[in-house]
């Protein structure tokens, strides 16, 4: 299995450190509002990765954190208002209630999108004691300094700082309006522990050796990852916006702490964007799973749309794109129903193996879901492949695609009452004579008897109302 590693900028073979179990950590949601479908694209990508690793025969330990403390409006500058406090104030409730509610909603959305729950999903608030111990150890090793009441990580002490992203905060300042934090020795330095916020008061505070306060956002991922998966892991994921400074800072503090390499593979999922630009919670965009459902889409339609783009390419969201995914998905469902009806028993195992191998190899090639999807369709259209074998291709695809394809049931044969059948025949005759008025009259009459008629290219289709 080959994966593109952001750290080396190369596609490399995945080989778990212990030869068997892949240890994977993914940055999780900040639970202060509904996840938008852009956020969820990142979790769908991680789910595809999760299931492809298992398809390749590895064991997997997948951990994802829940950020229920802190995560400032603008982390890049370590400034801004605490997002959770802001949301709690707006809803006139407590920060922890906000977190609990949105965490539940998040997992509910994931379930709808058939995203498998990681092995562990630790909450930041449950790890504050361990974060304090971690920051204390960094201070004792000389990597941290206290300034203006906050404990900062000194990036100049960590020589490999900037290797992942190829940038430092200083590099970005040209032409950009960046607020300078006078407390920092270097502008790349970041807060491990806050006792002083330049902004509004924070609801959640803990005692620490540096005074009462709360952890900086970056700290939680290093601490929870090491606690749940050990000091070295195989894969770390997140959306591209996490790459800098968040992941760069995670590396600095983790490797300063252990003195060894922390992560083998860094994987980053590209964004879901709107034609007019970025989709983001802070801009108040309301594209959620529920809002799509309200418009008549299934969560599977959105998951299908995500599969049509490689995870390292941007995907533009529009209702036209979603409609096209919906139509293709619905055709797929229809096709599967037809295959199930055929009930053929013959098999050409050689051809079937070729398709499954081809499908799997596309996924093993840095999760090429669009090509895997195309291979699945190619198999479905292959006249040489029996219905039974086609359904085997679908079952194999479903292991990773998770579109509910193996749950599809054949519609029960409709019993057509004799008088309805007579009318259907009359209507067919009227249509053959282009007598549309009569055709519509008969359709209304059939409707009054509890049946709907739809005209398809294969003729009249009857269903119960
Ligand atoms: P947050 O809850 O803001 O911490 O973000 C959760 C995840 O969503 C992170 O992995 C982000 O990188 C990712 N993310 C944020 N915006 C987008 C987007 N428009 N498309 C895809 N992923 C995103
Ligand atoms: Zn993280």
Binning pLDDT at 50, 70 and 90, where does residue 252 land? very high
Beta strands in 94-197 (DSSP E): 144-147, 150-153, 190-194
HSE-CB of 421 using CA atoms within 13 angstroms: 5
Helical axes 369-381 vs 349-364, angle rounded to 10°: 160
Report the atom number in ligand 1 closest to the C-alpha of 35. 2
Please give the average per-residue pLDDT across 353-372, as a whole number: 98
Distance 21 CA to ligand 2 centre (A): 21
Q: Are strands 190-194 and 150-153 parallel, antiparallel or unpaired?
A: antiparallel
Checking 11-16 for CB contacts under 8 A at 24+ apart, the result is 11/366, 12/265, 14/53, 14/56, 14/58, 14/234, 14/235, 14/265, 16/58, 16/234
Please give the average per-residue pLDDT across 176-181, as a whole number: 61
Report the atom number in ligand 1 closest to the C-alpha of 273. 19
Using a 6 Å cutoff on CB, does residue 272 contact ligand 1?
Answer: yes
Using a 6 Å cutoff on CB, does residue 30 contact ligand 1?
Answer: yes
pLDDT at site 179: 62
Q: Are strands 21-26 and 233-239 parallel, antiparallel or unpaired?
A: parallel
Helical axes 387-401 vs 37-55, angle rounded to 10°: 120
pLDDT at site 171: 60
Nearest residue to 150 (alpha-carbon basis) of 127, 109, 182, 113: 182
Q: Using one digit for the tens of pLDDT, what is the confidence trace for 413-424? A: 778 899 999 999
pLDDT at site 294: 95
Ligand 1, residues 241, 250, 273, 281: which to mutate, most atoms within 8 A of Cβ?
241
Instruction: Please state the separation of Cα 393 from the chain's center in Å.
Output: 24
pLDDT at site 346: 86
Using a 6 Å cutoff on CB, does residue 118 contact ligand 1?
Answer: no
pLDDT at site 88: 78
Binning pLDDT at 50, 70 and 90, where does residue 80 land? low
pLDDT at site 169: 56
The ligand placed nearest to the CA atom of residue 42 is 1
The residues near 423 (Cβ < 8 Å, ≥ 6 apart) are 442, 445, 446
The residues near 207 (Cβ < 8 Å, ≥ 6 apart) are none
Q: Could you tell me if 188 and 152 are in contact, meaning their C-beta atoms sit under 8 angstroms apart?
A: no
CA angle 136, 24, 392 (to 5 degrees): 170
The ligand placed nearest to the CA atom of residue 44 is 1
Report the atom number in ligand 1 closest to the C-alpha of 281. 3
Using a 6 Å cutoff on CB, does residue 241 contact ligand 1?
Answer: yes
The region that residue 133 occupies, defined by phi over 0 for left and psi between -120 and 50 for alpha, beta otherwise, is alpha
Binning pLDDT at 50, 70 and 90, where does residue 57 land? very high
pLDDT at site 233: 98
Nearest residue to 172 (alpha-carbon basis) of 76, 78, 247, 241: 76
Q: What are phi and psi of 217, to 5 degrees?
A: -65, -40
Nearest CA to ligand 1 atom 14: 39
Binning pLDDT at 50, 70 and 90, where does residue 331 land? very high
Alpha helices per DSSP H over 265-386? 289-294, 299-307, 319-342, 349-364, 369-381
Nearest residue to 438 (alpha-carbon basis) of 229, 205, 446, 52: 446
pLDDT at site 123: 97
The ligand placed nearest to the CA atom of residue 245 is 2
Nearest residue to 247 (alpha-carbon basis) of 314, 179, 160: 160
pLDDT exceeds cutoff 90 at 170:
no
Nearest CA to ligand 1 atom 7: 39
Q: Which stretch of 83-97, 293-307, 404-418 has the lowest confidence by average pLDDT?
A: 83-97
Please give the average per-residue pLDDT across 324-329, as a whole number: 98
Distance CA 131, CA 125 (A): 10
Distance CA 271, CA 279 (A): 8
DSSP helix/strand/coil, 217: helix
Is the dihedral angle over the CA atoms 279, 280, 284, 285 positive or is it negative? positive
pLDDT at site 210: 96
Helical (H) or strand (E) element with 69: none
Q: Model's pTM, two decimal places?
A: 0.87
pLDDT exceeds cutoff 50 at 300:
yes
Taking the CA atoms of residue 201, residue 205, residue 207 and residue 212 in that order, the dihedral angle to the nearest 10 degrees is -10
More confident residue, 455 or 120: 120
pLDDT at site 86: 77
Report the atom number in ligand 1 closest to the C-alpha of 27. 10
Here the tokens at position 84 are: 């959770």
Q: Could you tell me if 4 and 11 are in contact, meaning their C-beta atoms sit under 8 angstroms apart?
A: yes
pLDDT exceeds cutoff 70 at 399:
yes
pLDDT exceeds cutoff 70 at 202:
no
Q: Could you tell me if 365 and 2 are in contact, meaning their C-beta atoms sit under 8 angstroms apart?
A: yes
Percent of the chain at pLDDT above 70?
91
Distance CA 234, CA 90 (A): 40
Q: Which residue has the tokens 């609801």?
A: 203
* Core vs surface per residue 127-138: b (16+ CB within 10 A) or e: bbebbbebbbeb
Binning pLDDT at 50, 70 and 90, where does residue 322 land? very high
Q: Using one digit for the tens of pLDDT, what is the confidence trace for 425-437? A: 999 999 999 999 9
Report the atom number in ligand 1 closest to the C-alpha of 242. 12
pLDDT at site 285: 66
Q: Are strands 272-274 and 315-317 parallel, antiparallel or unpaired?
A: parallel
- Which of 33-42, 77-86, 87-96: highest mean pLDDT? 33-42
Distance CA 261, CA 254 (A): 8
pLDDT at site 163: 94
pLDDT at site 75: 43
Is the dihedral angle over the CA atoms 36, 37, 42, 43 positive or is it negative? positive
pLDDT at site 198: 56
């Amino acid at each position: 299995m080959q994966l593109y590693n952001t750290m080396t900028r190369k596609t490399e073979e995945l080989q778990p450190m212990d030869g068997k179990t892949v240890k994977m950590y993914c940055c999780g949601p900040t639970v202060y509002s509904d996840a938008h479908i852009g956020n969820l694209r990142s979790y769908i990508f991680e789910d595809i990765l999760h299931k492809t690793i298992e398809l390749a025969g590895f064991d997997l330990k997948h951990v994802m954190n829940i950020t229920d403390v802190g995560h400032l409006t603008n982390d890049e500058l370590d400034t801004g208002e605490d997002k959770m406090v802001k949301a709690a104030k707006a809803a006139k409730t407590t920060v922890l209630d906000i977190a609990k509610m949105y965490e539940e909603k998040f997992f509910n959305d994931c379930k709808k999108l058939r995203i498998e729950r990681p092995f562990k999903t630790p909450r930041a608030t449950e790890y504050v004691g361990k974060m304090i111990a971690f920051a204390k150890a960094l201070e004792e090793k000389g990597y941290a300094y206290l300034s203006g009441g906050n404990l900062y990580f000194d990036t100049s002490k960590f020589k490999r700082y900037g290797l992942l992203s190829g940038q430092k905060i200083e590099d970005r300042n040209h032409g950009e309006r960046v607020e300078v934090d006078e407390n920092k020795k270097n502008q790349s330095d970041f807060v491990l522990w806050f006792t002083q916020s330049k902004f509004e008061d924070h609801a959640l505070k803990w005692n620490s050796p540096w005074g009462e306060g709360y952890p900086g956002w970056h700290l939680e991922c290093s601490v929870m990852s090491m606690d749940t998966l050990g000091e070295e892991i195989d894969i770390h994921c997140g959306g591209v916006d996490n790459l800098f400074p968040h992941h760069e800072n995670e590396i600095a503090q983790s490797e300063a702490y252990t003195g060894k390499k922390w992560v083998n593979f860094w994987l980053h999922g590209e964004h879901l964007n709107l034609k007019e630009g970025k989709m983001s919670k802070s801009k108040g965009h309301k594209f959620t799973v529920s809002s799509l459902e309200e418009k008549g889409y299934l969560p599977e339609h959105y998951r299908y749309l995500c599969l049509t783009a490689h995870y390292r390419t941007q995907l533009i969201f529009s209702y036209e794109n979603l409609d096209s995914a919906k139509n293709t998905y619905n055709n797929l469902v229809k096709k599967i129903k037809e295959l199930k009806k055929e009930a053929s028993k013959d098999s050409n195992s050689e051809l079937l193996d070729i398709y499954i191998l081809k499908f799997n190899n596309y996924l093993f090639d840095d999760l090429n879901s669009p090509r895997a999807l195309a291979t699945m369709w190619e198999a479905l259209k292959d006249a040489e492949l029996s219905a039974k074998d086609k359904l085997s291709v679908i079952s194999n695809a479903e292991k990773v695609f998770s579109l509910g394809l193996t749950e599809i049931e054949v519609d029960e044969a409709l019993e057509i009452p004799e008088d309805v059948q007579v009318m259907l025949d009359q209507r067919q005759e009227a249509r053959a004579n282009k007598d549309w008025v009569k055709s519509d009259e008969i359709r209304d009459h059939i409707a009054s008897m509890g049946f709907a008629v739809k005209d398809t290219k294969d003729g009249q289709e009857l269903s119960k109302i």
